Amino acid sequence: MKKWLILSAAIALEVTATLSLRAAIDSPWWAILAVAGYAGAFVALSVLLRLGAPIGTVYGIWAATGVALTAVIASVVFGEPFTFTIGLGIAIVIVGVVLVETGQARPPSPAPAPAVAPETDDAMEVSR
């Protein structure tokens, strides 16, 4: 659960930063938020990697979700086009991430420990 929260924060920071870059065209002060957002996103991603999250999965989900959210929000906030082709491209990216996630080899489950016979007093004796 903790990893998903950190990944969600990384995605939100990256989308905010990218949208801030677009807003900076009209008002350069938005560039400050863009730099802070990207820095925060990369810090969050590095924390995920230190927690043992697989880089292919983390990066795939981060990038695909970021692309999809940025395209949708930019169309609403900035009036940028959202065409069938853009929607299809987002769907293909999502399918690619699912394939990367499901195609990763899972580490084998540890084998159960063999049952050990209870020790008796006789087993404790040392023969000379």
**Could you read off the pLDDT of 2-19 as tens digits, one per residue?**
999 999 999 999 999 999
1, pLDDT greater than 90: no
29 within a domain of the structure (yes/no): yes
Query: Which residue did the predictor score with more confidence, 78 or 127?
Result: 78
In a domain, 37, yes or no: yes
Whether residue 4 contacts residue 44, with contact meaning beta carbons closer than 8 Å, is answered with no
Q: Is residue 113 part of a domain?
A: no
What is the average per-residue pLDDT within 101-115? 68
Residue 111 maps to a domain:
no
Q: For residue 124, tell me if it sits in a domain.
A: no
- In this prediction, residue 111 carries a pLDDT of 63
Per-residue confidence (pLDDT) for residue 85, from 0 to 100: 95
- Residue 118 forms part of a structural domain: no
Q: Which domain holds residue 68?
A: 2-103
Q: Mind listing the pLDDT tens digit for each residue in 21-33? A: 999 999 999 999 9
**pTM more than 0.85:** no
Report how many domains make up the chain. 1
Any domain includes 119: no
**Residue 59 domain-assigned?**
yes
Give me the amino acid identity at 26.
D
Average pLDDT of the segment spanning 61-67: 92
Instruction: Provide the phi-psi class of 110: left if phi over 0, else alpha when psi is between -120 and 50, else beta.
Output: beta
- CB count in 10 Å sphere of residue 62: 20
Q: Averaged over 79-92, what is the pLDDT?
A: 93
pLDDT for the residue numbered 120: 54
Residue 57, pLDDT > 90, answer: no
**CB-CB contact of 38 with 13 (8 Å):** yes
How far is residue 86 from each of residues 20, 23, 64, 83, 93, measured CA to CA in Å?
21, 21, 13, 5, 11
